[in-house]
């Protein structure tokens, strides 16, 4: 039976492999491809979201793809094994055994540091590690993935061990601290960062967001792919971003934009939450991150302006108490500011905010009194005119009118009021 490298033509993409193995229908793959392009999500995850395959099916397809790329078996035989694995709900390795084949030894040598940390922290037994090392050699797969597939440890613990390796590589912790932190993480079922922070060994910088975490939070990368990329990157001494691009998990454009977002978080131009929202919106709308960020900056500036003038809006009764109370209640639910809620509800707009900001500025500079500011603003809001026109048209006692209605003041009174204002304006110039 031919298993080897002499028939290397054939599908090597995840979707094509699944169709060839009769796991997914061709029409469903086309549907998933369309949705995947629209959402910029990996095709495997998209097929899962459509209910076309399970996590185990996807894992088997990913493992087969790695073996095909390594050139250790033919596409024809690999597809047979994948079909058998999915049909019988067994792992790809078990399918190979049922078909009477074991992959040849590979040149990829799994990292010994990972195994040492796991053993010293008492997370895996020597026998479990030995079995996983052999599987890693046999199939050319990362040691950590083999340990997870063999159920020797879970993905969260593997993530913590890989984090320990990264921190050791960067000189932020030593091996003893890593082992101690991993023991606590395994016992408390918490992240390594939490354990290291508790012991005082290491605390992550507030504005330091890892690339893999950012991609996962934005829905651009699965947790499984992230962990695999970190492990492979440690073995090959290459950044995770480079591993993700060269393996075809994400395009280089996404990597470049995420690195730019990372820099903005580091210099405090963006919070982590804002960065994730921008990446998600960019993926959904299929527009550049820079454009989405520009839109967010405009919105953030508008919200800040609304909150800056909120005190004057409330004191001038420009909105009803019921509207203000409803906005305050919404903030406790959504976490948004009152100004943001009022903008989203359409109770404030750019013209209202600009007019109130101008009134506040003139009052703070003692060019107009508070009563004059309020009178002009009420006129401005009710008549739909800009603030400077309201200053000219609103009667001086407009504020005293119970419903903000015009009184038939004499032209002499109005001119006197305006003359006092403009004389102050000229005096400031």
Contacts 24+ apart (CB under 8 A), 184-189: 185/157, 185/160, 186/121, 186/122, 186/123, 186/157, 186/160, 189/156
Do residues 257 and 276 touch, judged by C-beta distance below 8 A?
Answer: no
**What pLDDT does residue 84 have?**
93
Do residues 73 and 4 touch, judged by C-beta distance below 8 A?
Answer: yes
| d(C-alpha 184, C-alpha 167), whole Å | 17
Predicted confidence (pLDDT) per residue in 254-297, tens digit: 898 888 888 888 888 888 888 888 888 888 888 888 888 888 88
Compute the Cα dihedral for 148, 151, 156, 159 and give only its sign: negative
**What pLDDT does residue 199 have?**
85
Question: Taking the model in full, what pTM does it have?
Answer: 0.53
- For 348, 354, 400, the CA distances from 383, given in Å and listed in that order, are 15, 15, 17
Cα–Cα nearest to 183, from 161, 152, 155, 159:
161
Low-confidence ranges of the chain (pLDDT < 50): 1-2, 4-8, 105-111, 398-409, 426-429
Do residues 95 and 74 touch, judged by C-beta distance below 8 A?
Answer: no
- Buried b vs exposed e over 75-94: b needs ≥16 C-beta within 10 Å? bebbbbbbbbbbeeeebbbe
Compute the Cα dihedral for 257, 211, 239, 244 and give only its sign: negative
| d(C-alpha 362, C-alpha 372), whole Å | 10
Give me Rg for the CA atoms of the chain.
32
- For 111, which DSSP code? P
| d(C-alpha 262, C-alpha 264), whole Å | 5
Q: List the Cα angle 256/270/216 in 5-degree steps.
A: 55
| d(C-alpha 147, C-alpha 136), whole Å | 9
Residue ranges per structural domain of the chain = 14-98, 112-124+147-284, 301-428
* Percentage of residues in the chain having pLDDT higher than 70: 85
């Amino acid at each position: 039976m031919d298993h080897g490298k002499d028939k290397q033509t054939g599908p090597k993409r995840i979707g094509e492999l699944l169709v060839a193995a009769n796991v997914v229908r061709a029409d469903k793959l086309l549907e998933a491809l369309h949705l995947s392009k629209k959402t910029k999500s990996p095709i495997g995850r998209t097929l899962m979201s459509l209910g076309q395959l399970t996590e185990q099916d996807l894992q088997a397809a990913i493992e087969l793809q790695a073996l095909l790329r390594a050139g250790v078996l033919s596409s024809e035989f690999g597809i047979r094994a994948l079909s058998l694995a999915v049909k019988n709900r067994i792992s790809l390795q078990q399918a190979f055994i049922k078909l009477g084949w074991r992959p040849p030894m590979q040149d990829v040598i799994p990292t010994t540091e990972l195994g040492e940390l796991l053993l010293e922290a008492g997370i895996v037994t020597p026998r479990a590690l030995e079995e996983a090392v052999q599987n890693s050699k046999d199939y050319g797969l990362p040691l950590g993935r083999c340990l997870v597939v063999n159920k020797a440890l879970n993905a969260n613990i593997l993530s913590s061990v890989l984090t320990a390796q990264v921190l050791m590589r960067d000189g932020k912790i030593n091996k003893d601290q890593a082992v101690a932190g991993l023991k606590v993480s395994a016992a408390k079922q918490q992240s390594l960062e939490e354990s290291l922070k508790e012991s005082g060994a290491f605390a992550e910088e507030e504005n330091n967001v890892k690339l893999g975490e950012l991609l996962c939070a934005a829905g651009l990368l699965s947790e499984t792919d992230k962990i695999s990329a970190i492990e492979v990157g440690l073995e090959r001494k290459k950044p995770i971003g480079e591993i993700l691009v060269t393996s075809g998990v994400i395009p280089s454009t996404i990597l470049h934009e995420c690195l730019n977002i990372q820099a903005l978080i580091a210099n405090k131009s963006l919070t982590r939450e804002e960065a994730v929202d921008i990446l998600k919106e960019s993926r959904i709308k299929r527009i550049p991150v820079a454009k989405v960020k520009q839109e967010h900056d405009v919105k953030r500036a508008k919200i800040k302006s609304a909150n800056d003038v909120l005190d004057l809006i409330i004191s001038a009764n420009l909105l009803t108490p019921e509207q203000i109370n409803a906005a305050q209640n919404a903030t406790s639910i959504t976490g948004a500011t009152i100004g943001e809620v009022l903008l989203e509800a359409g109770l404030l707009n750019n013209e209202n905010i600009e007019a109130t900001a101008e009134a506040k500025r003139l009052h703070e500079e003692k060019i107009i009194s508070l009563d004059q500011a309020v009178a002009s603003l009420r006129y401005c809001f009710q008549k739909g005119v800009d603030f400077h026109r309201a200053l000219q048209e609103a009667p001086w006692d407009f504020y005293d009118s119970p419903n903000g209605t015009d009184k038939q003041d004499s032209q002499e009174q109005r001119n006197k009021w305006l003359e006092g204002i403009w004389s102050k304006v000229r005096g400031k110039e």
